Amino acid sequence: MQVSVQNGQVKIDGQVESELKRRAIKVLIEGLGGTAAYKDRLLVSPVHNQD
């Protein structure tokens, strides 16, 4: 996952394992002071265990 911040705009690129984690990241970012905008470029890609 890559996070970049410029002029109060937060952009997140990468993959997360579930929609729940994606939403948790959004809540965290939006709760930060000084965040003017949030651009979510995350892909949900479930992890498959290889047993």
State how far the Cα of 4 lies from the Cα of 22, in Å rounded to an integer: 16
pLDDT of residue 46: 82
| Domain locations in the chain as residue ranges | 2-44
Each residue's pLDDT tens digit, 1-51? 999 999 999 999 999 999 999 999 999 998 988 889 999 999 999 876 665
> For position 33, what pLDDT does the model report?
87
pLDDT of residue 2: 96
pLDDT for position 49? 62
CB distance 18 to 44 below 8 Å: yes
DSSP-derived letter for residue 8 is T
Tokens of 15: 């993959």
Question: Using CA atoms, how far apart are residues 15 and 20, in angstroms rounded to an integer?
Answer: 13
Q: Do the beta carbons of residue 35 and residue 12 sit within 8 Å?
A: no
Q: Give the pTM.
A: 0.76
Residue 14 pLDDT = 95
